[in-house]
Structure 1
Amino acid sequence: MNIQNVILGFLFEEPMSGYDIKRIMEVSVAHFFDASFGAIYPALKRMEKEGFVKKEIIQQEGKPNKNLFVITDKGKEEFIEYLESPINPTIMRSDFLIRLFFGKFTKKENIIKWMENEKKHLEQELENLLEVQKSSPDTDKYKKITIEYGLEYSKMTIILLEAKIKLLKEEDQERL
């Protein structure tokens, strides 16, 4: 998975500007894929050069022109080829988990604070996903499955963190 494939997927649905792509990513796939404008615009430029997208300039009165990107037949073929290729195993990169892994080198208070912060982050993510689910009742079944996956992952991780935070705090009580 790379930024190009994600962009092609969104453009397969409808033409969009770089801003539109970033905005829709934030409300749809941010819980498992994130990209900055600094990644989106260079990818669009490269994809245009490779013939996967074409840029249409939309004149706007009183505003700068809008660059609308449209997927080409070549881009559609590239995206379908990506979808039909073998899936790479999911490799999670997590600053939280790396720090936790080496937690024996710091204070328990730091670890509890990290876990509480991670829990808060996941609770916010859960809230965002519930809002997406509620505001998109007519979305296709595959997007619904993706949202449900994120909801269940967040719930499960919150439960685990709550239990481990409690365990770490109880260890301190037992020593008193």
Structure 2
Amino acid sequence: MSIQIFILSKLMEDNNYPYKLKKQISEPIPLDRLAGLTESKLYYHFDSLAKKGLIESIEIIKEENRPDKQVFAITAKGQEELPKMIYKLFENADSISDMVVGLANIKYVERQKVVEILEKKLTNIKQRWEEVSGYEEKVEVDKAQEKFSEFMLGYVSTKAEHTIYWLEELIKRVKQGEI
């Protein structure tokens, strides 16, 4: 879904073709390689969006000794679906790193609705952490497993605290319009 949100958001700005988008995300930092985005995946998503009626081919640029370039534009249906896809991305995200494309395109959605989604996510994480942290007192650990138990408790508690801190920070920055 992130790739399709990326494509639709780029087409909101201007008509474009797949190869040009691939080039934009590969320079100067090779984000395409870091995200595992191959040219064939990008073309697949363009095709998928076109089949759904969210984008349409508007022009074919022919150049001598070069492959044809099919230029796409976002449709009215695509403009309508983009915010829904961004909200869904936030709702389904397991971590902030899963939200990057949504955060980069937050201008296409209502900030308050994003804040509500994030606050609900934060409440759920805090409730789960409270529940899990209560187990420590209920579980008896034998001497042989004591070091393992300490390690796991340290790992899980640090991860939970880290997640809560950064989600609270994200909510604050979205509310303030910094992101």
**TM-score scaled by structure 1?**
0.45
